[in-house]
Structure 1
Amino acid sequence: MTIALDRPGATTADRELRADLVGRAAKLFPLLAGQAERSDRERLVPAENIEALAEAGLLSILQPARYGGLQTDIRTCLEVSREVARACGSTAWTTTLLNVCSWYVGLYPAQAQDDIWADDPTARVAGVLAPTASAREVDGGFVVSGRWSPASGQAHARWAIVGVLRDGGSERGMVLVPMAELTVEDTWFVTGMRGTASNTLIADEIFVPSHRYLSSADAAAGRYATPHTEEAVYRSAFVPVSALVLAAPQLGLAQAALDLVVQKAPNRAMTYTFYDNQAVAPTTQLAVAQAASLIDSAHLHAYRAAAEIDEAAAQDSYPDYDARARARMDTGVAAVHAREAIRILVSAHGAGSFAEVNPLQRIWRDSEAGSRHAIVNPEVSTEIYGKSLLGIRGDVTDLV
């Protein structure tokens, strides 16, 4: 088996653009990190963060170039979100969701894409794909009613993509709705990823034209409605992309924890020991080595999955079931390794990790919450992958 960490067809220009975008995210570190406590306390990513990300082009990386977007690839999305997460988990999660929802819009018919961006190329889209609302077919479209939660990014979006059950549950789909037609209920009272403001969206008999509907089954099988089939990134595998992007904030959070512990160790006492500081204690040395290796492993799994997704899209070849199952497994492994690295680092740093003034406690909370998103679920992903290796397919979920 050949294992690639970047798609074989990536050009020097592709990699230079990716490095440039990651560099732009790194330059925002002081602003984003400086706002992280506020984001957590106020349960909302500050508008200044979103504006700075937008000005740097970091909210258009998966938007079609036809509307002024950068139209990059999934690996670039991962690296940008990872870099943002080094500063603030909630900002990174919001960045990730806004970007992947732009990618979803790129799968829709041309008229739907025009609805979003023709008059306002800066329009942002949030979303919840779980089909927790009904769509009743009427002349020209659907009438939609229901509730969706958690709706990450909704506070900074003009549109929402939301999951529906069509005609009594005969088919699952996704519809595009203006945020102005939805009600937002303040329900996001949580321990981690507090700043994402992932509140509940409510629709009451909203009309949605038929061109703003996309079948979930068609999407999972790679049958997209966009006429722009020459645009490689919008040929990427639906479920692997939807899962993998959520691992990116975990990578950055874990790296942030490692950076903090390594930085503080030489000046931090090793209480109740004869060691002058934590850095000279073998227990700390072993802990940071183990954590760093787990973080490396998390990156390797995530980047391998991204490389396979990106290369298949570039080759216009939709990954088969087994390849998609492995991508879900890679996502779960990346999330678990990152989360375990943070657990080790918090223990090595000591009880002071949980002081409210210590960023480690927020990193830990954000990781614990974000890594448990249902589509990332490592146990489910492991079952899917194990069964696929044994030739058993399709009996766990259709989200593969």
Structure 2
Amino acid sequence: MQYESQTMVKEKSTANAAIDYRAIVRDMAPLVASEAREAEAKGDLTKPVVDIFLESELVWFMAPRELGGGASSIRTCIEVLEDLARSDGSTGWSLMATSIHTLYASGWAGDEAIDAMFGGGRRAIVAGMPGPIGKATKLADGRFRGSGRFGFASGSGYADWFLAGMTLSENGEVVRDEQGAPATVTFYLKRDQIEYVPNWDVLGLRATASNDFVVDDVTVSPDFATNVRTYTPLRGPASYRMGGLAFGAAGHCAVVLGMMKRALEEIAIIAAGKARLGYNGPIGSHPMFQKDFAVQEAAYTSLRSRVIEIFEELEREAEAGNPPTPAQFARMYQFVSWVHEVGPEVVRNCHAWAGSAGIREPSVIARCLRDASTARMHSVADPIKMVNAAPHLIEQYADQARDRG
């Protein structure tokens, strides 16, 4: 389903600081659950769910207060997205994508772009692909021209602006950043500047509308093409100085944590009343199940605690004016990868105990399995993150050993 002209026109206010976003998500849980199956069939969220996103201002809960957003803390970001993904993985993933991409745009876009997206009381809803998939050229007059086909624009069904990441060339040569890597810019484009390609037909996260879009030789002014991969946002709270990528990483962790929690809840209910040959009474009372459940629950709670700890440390450092160190960034991605490795295994284990309840539709625990397995495929969770983190971790432990003498 595609929604037209979703940009909200409302008076900007700093009252958003008082909004209890977790309460909103808890209150909408029954609706999200009741709409989940229809949303999967359509490949997009249903209108009643999107309407609550807009009316409750959830879409902007991470945006700066000066632009009408909630400027929520990183802990609130994690808890809200976890709670919503617990109700339905696709719904949590969609809000994760649009709220964090809206954060990117609102924090890093130039003033002219901000006026187009947020001026006159408007508040943009942003989807897209900030990864540098496209190619852009810096023109002699300072503008940028770019093209590319982009995938995985989650939440794009109700978005009216799109991010499009580009590698940058000038005078026929690839531009390099200070580290010698190809420089990148992110275009901010209105929906009518892109070609929307509804092609999302997948195993899990079916209702996220993670469709493709095409940018065909579009020229934008410098304020509509900035680098979101920096620790120097142009506006927003001090926490933005930990970088937009940190918020994205936190959001991905939160959604998987929500799936883990829901799978544990579902199997606790199923096992309490499920008989199986070879067991005396319900499987929920058997020591094999109980031990297994305790192990999976320990994985969930320990991961959750450590994820919050890591991101709150990054937030405190950012608020003190310190961007993430390479070691902190390595630790962050180590745990992003680990959450996506352990999380689907916890869900799979819960699903295995469900028996026929995990294969007869409608089955919430089956949907958890599909969604968690699909989340595991995201590039943010690639095992190469562990490889990249290892030198920093080894150095840390070696330093500790040397300090002890």
For 2:122 and 2:254, locate their aligned partners in 1 and report how far apart those are by CA, in whole Å.
25
CA separation of 1:142 and 1:73: change in aligned 2, threshold 3 A:
same
Q: Partner of 2:133 in structure 1?
A: 132
* Contact kept in structure 1, 2:164 and 2:186, CA below 8 Å: yes
TM-score, reference length from structure 2 = 0.86
Q: C-alpha separation between the residues in 2 aligned to 1:290 and 1:48? A: 38
- Say if 1:390 and 1:280 are closer, same or farther in 2 by CA, change over 3 A: closer
Number of residue pairs the alignment of both structures matches:
368
Overall identity of the aligned pairs, in %: 23
Q: What's the counterpart of residue 384 of structure 1?
A: 388
The equivalent residue for 1:104 is 104
1:371 maps onto 2:376 in alignment:
yes
Amino acid at match of 2:159: A
**1: CA distance between counterparts of 2:394 and 2:284?**
46
Correspondent of 2:232 among 210, 213, 223: 223
Alignment check: 8 A CA contact 2:108 2:227 kept? no
Helix, strand or coil: the match of 2:60? coil
Q: Contact conserved, 1:268 with 1:277, CA < 8 A, in 2?
A: yes
Match of 2:61 in 1: 61
3-state SS of paired residue (1:72): coil
| Counterpart check, 1:309 vs 2:309 | no
Give distance in 2, aligned partners of 1:386 and 1:140. Answer: 41
Q: Secondary structure at the match of 1:69?
A: coil
Partner of 2:297: 292
TM-score with structure 1 length normalisation? 0.87
Given residue 51 of structure 1, which amino acid in structure 2 is its aligned partner? Answer: D
Tell me, yes or no, if the aligned pair for 1:72 and 1:233 is still in contact at 8 Å.
Answer: no
- Residues 320-339 of structure 1 correspond to what in structure 2 (within 5 A)? 320-339=325-344
Shift of 1:253: 0.8
1:263 CA drift (Å): 1.5
Q: CA deviation at 1:209?
A: 1.1
> Relative to structure 1, is the Cα distance of residues 293 and 151 closer, same or farther in structure 2, using a 3 angstrom cutoff?
same
CA distance in 2, matches of 1:261, 1:169: 53
Tell me what 1:243 maps to.
Answer: 249
Q: Kindly provide the amino acid, as one letter, of the partner of residue 297 in structure 1.
A: S
**Other-structure match for 1:122:** 123
1:75 equivalent in structure 2:
75
Work out whether residues 187 and 200 of structure 1, in 8 Å CA contact, stay in contact via their aligned partners in 2: yes
Q: Separation in 2 of the partners of 1:215 and 1:66?
A: 21
Q: CA deviation at 1:321?
A: 0.5
CA–CA distance in structure 2, aligned partners of residues 238 and 208 of structure 1: 22
Give the Cα separation in 2 of the matches to 1:154 and 1:274. 48
CA distance in 2, matches of 1:346, 1:164: 40
Deviation digits for residues 152-194 of structure 1, max 9, x if unmatched?
1111111011111212643222111111111111221110111
1:244 to 1:372, Cα distance in 2 relative to 1, 3 A: farther
The answer to whether the 8 Å contact 2:93/2:255 transfers is yes
Tell me how far 1:241 sits from its aligned partner: 2.5
Code of the residue aligned with 1:74 in structure 2: it is I
Deviations 1:48-87 (A, max 9, x none): 1121122223211111111211111222111111000111
1:141 corresponds in structure 2 to 143
Counterpart Cα distance in 2 of 1:122 and 1:239: 22
- Opposite residue 239 of structure 2, the aligned amino acid is V
Q: What displacement does 1:205 show? A: 1.5
How far apart, CA to CA, are the structure 2 residues paired with 1:274 and 1:327?
43
Displacement of 1:134 in angstroms is 1.7
Which consecutive residues of structure 1, in runs of 5 or more, have no partner in the other structure? 1-15, 393-400
Displacement of 1:100 after TM fit? 0.6
SS state at 1:127 partner: strand
**SS of corresponding position for 1:205:** strand
Distance (whole Å) between structure 2 residues aligned to residue 276 and residue 79 of structure 1: 37
Partner amino acid, structure 2, of 1:62: M
Cα 1:274–1:136 change in 2 (3 A) is closer
One-letter code aligned to 1:32: V
RMSD: 1.9
Cα deviation digits, residues 351-383 of structure 1 (max 9, x gap): 431222211111100011112210222x11211
**Matched position secondary structure for 2:166:** strand
- Matched residue, 2:7: none
Q: 2:354 aligns with which of 345, 349, 363?
A: 349
Give SS of 1:339's match. Answer: helix
Contact kept in structure 1, 2:112 and 2:223, CA below 8 Å: yes
Cα contact 1:301–1:333 (8 A) shared by 2: no
Following superposition, the deviation at residue 198 of structure 1 comes to 0.7
In 2: Cα distance, 1:357 partner to 1:247 partner: 26
Determine if the alignment matches structure 1 residue 261 to structure 2 residue 262.
no
The 8 Å contact of residues 254 and 342 in structure 1, kept in 2 or not, is answered as yes
Deviation at 1:265, TM superposition (A): 1.8
